[in-house]
Amino acid sequence: MEYFSQIFEKLATWWFDLNFTSIQKRALLVISAVVVVISVFIVIRGNMDEVTAPPVVVEQVQAPQIFVDVTGAVNTPGVYTLTASSRVIDAIKAAGGSAAGADLSTINLARVLADGEQIYVDAAVTNSKGVRISATKRSGPISINRATVSDFDSLDGIGPVIARRIVEYRKTHGPFMTIEDLQKVSGIGEAKFAQIKSKIRI
């Protein structure tokens, strides 16, 4: 309290020592009061204004897409756009699902698709003994991306064991890009490939 008393006394002494007339001193008091009121008003108004946060813009990142050609025994063959993480089963569903009589045994439905590849769903029928056989009779070179185990087995030098290896390799790694890729299958060397080269195609 003593500190404030000293300040008040100094202010009072300063006020009475001013070489102003009474009118000037009153004018000074009025101006000071107006400045204080305006300052308080500005501070109060500033505190009352709502602080609006800038809007949050959510950017949607579109997943990469691939194009896949689905053909053969499906209800709606064609080229379909799928997400990059799609699998073979997704491509077949996009094509309306497998058609009646489709043979999915030679296809790895869980394999992840690659951009630009073709999924061929073979058709099969049942003979009089109840054994499923290919419904399409091929003439000329066989497609190594569509051929069944029996198709490969019909090639010279390719027995049932290697034929199954070819189909399993295709199911695991996807379609062959060239006929030379067939040599990646265990049991098919240069000599055997040269023997069947003229009878196969992509």
- Of 65, 145, 134, 76, nearest to 108 by C-alpha is 145
Average the pLDDT over 29-48 and give the result.
Answer: 72
Can you give the pLDDT at residue 117? 85
β-strand partners of 132: 126
- The reported pTM is 0.49
pLDDT digits (tens, 9 = 90+) for 45-55: 666 656 676 77
* Cα 99 off chain centre by: 29
Q: Which fold has domain 138-202?
A: DNA polymerase; domain 1 (1.10.150)
Can you give the pLDDT at residue 14? 61
Query: What tokens were used for 138?
Result: 């091929």
Tell me the pLDDT of the chain averaged across its residues: 80
pLDDT digits (tens, 9 = 90+) for 146-197: 888 888 888 888 888 999 999 999 888 888 889 999 999 999 988 889 989 9
Can you give the pLDDT at residue 82? 93
- In this prediction, residue 80 has a pLDDT band, given cuts at 50, 70 and 90, of very high
Of residues 19 and 178, more confidence is placed in: 178
Query: What tokens were used for 176?
Result: 């062959």
- In this prediction, residue 96 has a pLDDT band, given cuts at 50, 70 and 90, of very high
The count of other CB atoms within 10 Å of the CB of residue 180 is 10
- State the CATH architecture for 60-136: Roll (3.10)
Query: For the chain, what are the domain ranges?
Result: 2-46, 60-136, 138-202
